[in-house]
Structure 1
Amino acid sequence: MFVLNLTELNRSDICEHFSCPERSVSPAVYILLYMCSAAVVLLTVCGNLLVIISVLHFKQLHTPTNILVLSLAVSDFLIGALVMPPVLISAIESCWIFDTGYCISFLMTSYVLASFSIYNVALIAVDRYLALSNPFLYTNNISRRTMSIVVVFNWFCSLLYNILLCYFNGSFTNSIMCPGECFLLLNEVGAVIDLVVTFIFPCSIIIILYIGVFMIAKKHATAIRELNNHTRPQTQKITSHSMKSERKAAKVLGILVSMFIVCLLPYFIYSLLADVIGMQADTFMKVYIVLCLNSTINPVIYALFYPWFRRCVKLIITVLLITKYSKRTQLINVLS
């Protein structure tokens, strides 16, 4: 979402800041940049598509938590398909080369998808906290249907929030339609509301709950270790594997959330400080690309840490999905 929290610059000042510079790179570098951009988009789209196919196809992955993983993969897929191409092209050209109508649809699409992704990660944090803090209550009350309703509600709220924000901000009458640029200028109230709603509030939830998740996981590990000292070897083996899986799940989700916050911070920091340090179009493009790259990183994290995902990818690539019983394939250990 190309949203500037600039409240002190007038329209002519902003247009002066966002002039369209001439391309200064050689043709070889120019072609290389486009090839690298195409590779990033392809990795984002294909990686998240593999996650989507895996969760939808294999019955062993039809869990409430994976409904949230699926919704995150869908939003990341749409970011890779709809948002990243124009962002990368604009970064290479140092200019918005598309028309005003596409600019407006691009702004709304990127804004809705970014908001949805942020709250989806927050919901994953809530889900993991509830599952660890009260597993019996979680098992009895959280079903796939319940989680599907939560995901649909998240999509609806993200869309409604962004429509209302644009409407009360003056719709797109405050959009910066300088030649070669595509930005949305928020007023003071809109900038503060957007900062709280799309950054401070969800990130606070994520950080607080994951601190709780790791504390609970540590307590469980200690309890299981003490239990092992007073049980038979076979029971020790089972509880040790359970402890290892639990700690690994917390670790992987912690990495996922940490990378998300790392990718999110530069955009919000630069957007907030833009009217103090001076807005540079190239720098703004770079921090926005970092934000989008989180959608590329997520499937890579799954591939590195989840054996079930690597197993799914192998089955998909070898076209084993067409076999009659592939949906019931045991994917090693879903929790490992």
Structure 2
Amino acid sequence: METASLLLVPHYAAQWQGPSNITVVDKVPPNMLHLVDAHWYQFPPLNPLWHGILGFMIAVLGVISWIGNGVVIYIFSTTKSLRTPSNLLVVNLAFSDFLMMVVMSPPMVLNCYYETWVLGPLMCDIYGMCGSLFGFASIWTMTMIAQDRYNVIVKGLSAKPMTIKTALIRIALIWFFAIGWTLAPLFGWNRYVPEGNMTACGTDYLTKTWTSRSYILVYSVFVYFTPLFTIIYSYYFIVQAVAAHEKNMREQAKKMNVASLRSSDASNTSAECKLAKVALMTISLWFFAWTPYLVINYTGIFEGANISPLATIWGSLFAKANAVYNPIVYGISHPKYRAALKEKLPFLICGDDEHGDATSQASGATTATTVAEKA
């Protein structure tokens, strides 16, 4: 929460000291003014440097996301050994993140150039809808990935394995519910409006009616709290199960009077420690990506602080950055993916991958540890 709290700084600390009689809304085209909340009229325009920095960062994030997620889709789709039901979820995550930045990065760069939203009300709706659609799809795909790993590692042989059909059904349900939540504001339950520095559109968290507020509250339960707690729950028991398995292996090795039951000593780090690091990284990145924007929305509906235009920039930027590091967490940490990447696109491999391959082979002795390495 410390990171998020820093977003709600006094607006005068970050504003450009330009003419005192103009506001951040002055450049907004007349056909957009009916969507702008009165809250934003109290703020002077941002220093043009902020628009330049934001536009540059969004452009960079867009290019990295296109390349990263595009490579994940290509590798998983063209490598036969990676065409598994579980990996369909990884491909869906990459697909959602890829489309998010394809659709949202160019308009924001353009609006940063003009220092306001210049694409009209219809594109504002489309932009806001895309942010909601692809954000929902990414969040729930990550949740499904955590649940699948919980099913395989914790339940083990007693679990019902996921099939291609089951994976496709889950993906279809994710997109079905994502579309439902996305369309709701178009039918009067909340709405999409320009926010902050007026270069992006999102859900309305400033209108004081409970019809508008209730959407934010219910949406946050289904798209923030439920996925977050599900991911934490899943990884907690995954790490616990792998730790118990490793303990049994050590006890068995002690009875056999051998140092280890593993076929290689390539790594001295236990499987549960590796998995705990992956779990911590997954949960932390998820938390830091979406919590700032949640704090901004809750601050708006509960009037907890004076939200500045600069605060909304960082909230939006943190959320979009999630599309950049998802392919790293869910793709590059996958041993078979790294092997396929090394074969097909070796110039994208950073550093020596031999250690990672050896670790993957050493951990292949048992099902639980193998899946832990993939997680």
Cα 1:37–1:167 change in 2 (3 A) is closer
Residue identity in the other structure for 1:261: F
Corresponding residue number in structure 2 for 1:312 = 340
CA contact (8 A) 2:86 2:145 kept: yes
Residue identity in the other structure for 2:187: Y
The structure in which a higher percent of residues are helix is: 1
CA contact (8 A) 2:253 2:259 kept: no
Tell me the alpha carbon deviations over residues 54-92 of structure 1, each in whole angstroms, 9 at most, x when there is no partner. 111111112222111111111111112112333455456
| 1:229-268 correspondence to structure 2 within 5 Å | 229-231=254-256, 236-238=261-263, 248-249=274-275, 251-268=277-294
Shift of 1:160: 1.6
Corresponding residue number in structure 1 for 2:224 = 199
Tell me the alpha carbon deviations over residues 107-162 of structure 1, each in whole angstroms, 9 at most, x when there is no partner. 11110111111111111111111111222133x53212211211111111111233
Given candidates 100, 113, 118, the residue that maps to 2:121 is 100
Corresponding residue number in structure 2 for 1:66 = 87
Tell me the alpha carbon deviations over residues 247-288 of structure 1, each in whole angstroms, 9 at most, x when there is no partner. 645643542232112211111012211332112122102111
Instruction: Tell me the SS of whatever aligns to 1:236.
Output: coil
Cα 1:314–1:281 change in 2 (3 A) is same
In 1: Cα distance, 2:299 partner to 2:92 partner: 32
Cα 1:269–1:294 change in 2 (3 A) is same
CA contact (8 A) 1:91 1:286 kept: no
Residue identity in the other structure for 1:264: W
Instruction: Tell me the SS of whatever aligns to 1:141.
Output: coil
Tell me the alpha carbon deviations over residues 214-250 of structure 1, each in whole angstroms, 9 at most, x when there is no partner. 1112111111211222348698124989995676456
Unaligned runs of 5+ in 2: 1-34, 206-211, 348-359, 365-369
- CA RMSD, Structure 1 to Structure 2 (Å): 3.5
CA contact (8 A) 2:93 2:138 kept: yes
Corresponding residue number in structure 2 for 1:325 = none
Corresponding residue number in structure 2 for 1:329 = none
Instruction: Tell me the SS of whatever aligns to 2:255.
Output: coil
In 2: Cα distance, 1:232 partner to 1:152 partner: 51
In 1: Cα distance, 2:54 partner to 2:36 partner: 32
Corresponding residue number in structure 1 for 2:245 = 220
Unaligned runs of 5+ in 1: 1-9, 320-331
Shift of 1:34: 4.8
Shift of 1:183: 4.0
- Ranges of 4+ aligned residues in structure 1 off by more than 6 Å: 239-243
Corresponding residue number in structure 1 for 2:204 = 185
TM-score normalised according to structure 1 size: 0.78
CA contact (8 A) 1:121 1:257 kept: no
| Aligned pairs, number | 308
Instruction: Tell me the SS of whatever aligns to 2:329.
Output: helix
Cα 1:38–1:175 change in 2 (3 A) is closer
Corresponding residue number in structure 1 for 2:103 = 82
Corresponding residue number in structure 2 for 1:112 = 133
The answer on 1:123 being equivalent to 2:144 is yes
Q: Which of 72-81 and 248-257 deviates more?
A: 248-257
Residue identity in the other structure for 2:60: A
In 1: Cα distance, 2:58 partner to 2:193 partner: 27
Residue identity in the other structure for 2:235: Y
Corresponding residue number in structure 2 for 1:269 = 295
Corresponding residue number in structure 2 for 1:164 = 184
Cα 1:215–1:235 change in 2 (3 A) is closer
Cα 1:300–1:94 change in 2 (3 A) is farther
Residue identity in the other structure for 2:318: V
Shift of 1:106: 0.7
CA contact (8 A) 1:68 1:151 kept: yes
The answer on 1:134 being equivalent to 2:158 is no
The answer on 1:297 being equivalent to 2:325 is yes
